[in-house]
Amino acid sequence: MSQATQVPKINKVLFIDDDEYTIAYYKVLSKDFNLAKESLFFTDATVALKHLESIVNEYEFPDLILVDINMPQLDGHEFVTTVMEMPQHHQQRTAIVFLTSSKEMTDIVKADENQVEHYYWKPLTENKLKRILRDCLDIIVE
């Protein structure tokens, strides 16, 4: 486990997954890993979208969004398309990561079409988080 005393690796992160236990796990993991100064968790992508829309100052936009694909209300693909169109997103260069258990070709192709370069399979682990930071944000964690 990483030491909580260290400085957070990033400013702000969003976790979106419709399964509340998965979210509970992400809460523990991101806290132990000291991932971000501010971590927000959503079980409903529409609520996450409302939060992002309400952000006026671009620097309050998250550095990293980890989102599931298979969700009932608004699925990961729809969520991402909307976020990509937000002007704040262009300013902040938010890294968007699909965190899913889907190995469906259609999902992978769709992710690619939506220019989501980062596609990771569940379950999330501390090592996977390190890889995500390295690959998506050029942050190396020892």
Site residues (vs other proteins, CB under 8 A): 1, 19, 21-22, 25, 28-29, 32, 70, 101-105, 122-125
For the bound state, the minimum distance from the C-beta of residue 120 to other proteins, rounded and expressed in Å, comes to: 13
Toward other proteins, which CB reaches closer, 101 or 115? 101
For the bound state, the minimum distance from the C-beta of residue 138 to other proteins, rounded and expressed in Å, comes to: 27
Q: Distance (Å, rounded) from C-alpha 10 to C-alpha 62?
A: 9
For the bound state, the minimum distance from the C-beta of residue 22 to other proteins, rounded and expressed in Å, comes to: 6
For the bound state, the minimum distance from the C-beta of residue 88 to other proteins, rounded and expressed in Å, comes to: 31
Alpha helices in the chain, H assignment, sequence order: 20-32, 45-54, 76-85, 87-92, 105-113, 126-137
Q: Which two tokens stand for residue 37?
A: 């100064």
For the bound state, the minimum distance from the C-beta of residue 71 to other proteins, rounded and expressed in Å, comes to: 11
Toward other proteins, which CB reaches closer, 21 or 87? 21
If phi > 0 it is left, if psi is from -120 to 50 it is alpha, else beta; for residue 68 that is beta
Q: Which residue has the tokens 């999330």?
A: 124
Toward other proteins, which CB reaches closer, 14 or 124? 124
Q: Distance (Å, rounded) from C-alpha 17 to C-alpha 59?
A: 24
Q: Distance (Å, rounded) from C-alpha 32 to C-alpha 141?
A: 14
